[in-house]
Amino acid sequence: MNRLRVLFVCTGNTCRSPMAAALFRSVVGARLSEGVDVDVDSAGLAAIPGAPAAPPAIEVMKERGIDISGHRSAPVGDDAPQYDLILAMTEEHKAAMLLRYPEAAAKVFTLKEYAGAKGSYDIADPFGLDDEAYRRTADEIDEAVRKAAARLATEWNERKRGT
């Protein structure tokens, strides 16, 4: 059995990255494809350890049938380079990860970059805004994680076939 580890990164790990991790899990479930288990985590570059997800993030995910009420924030750790794929919420987050972990450069992307988006690669930060801002951000993340999961599955299958 193969295991694939994916890390989502934002600033405080209370809004965007926990929503992205939860939405990604809902798309891939526990497996990316036959024989591939997927571990999905999130962390923040300036996270205060143990902080709960922002209440609007919890509510917006609940509207989508996803429970993140048990989420507790975690700072990006020294184990980050061990992840197979690191998806940042903004280009600034990506740059910070590359500064900290240059050895992980081949596997650090913004979520929207990895998803093949055109234009800005930044996911808007809803922190401190109303529920509607969180909904818009969740919609933006949802679209990107679906495309990212599809790309990851394709790349994984190609790697298995040796192409």
pLDDT score recorded for residue 157: 77
Count the neighbouring beta carbons within 10 Å of the beta carbon of residue 130.
Answer: 9
pLDDT score recorded for residue 156: 81
What is the per-residue DSSP string for 38-67?
EEEEEEETTPPTTPBPPHHHHHHHHHTT--
Per-residue pLDDT of the chain (163 residues; tens, 9 = 90+): 588 999 999 999 999 999 999 999 999 986 776 778 899 999 999 999 999 999 999 999 999 999 999 999 999 999 999 999 999 999 999 999 999 999 999 999 999 999 999 999 999 999 999 999 999 999 999 999 999 999 998 888 777 776 5
Alpha carbon distance 65, 53 (integer Å):
16
Number of domains present in the structure of the chain: 1
* Domain span at 21: 2-161
CATH number of the domain residue 117 falls in: 3.40.50.2300
Catalytic residues: 10, 16, 125
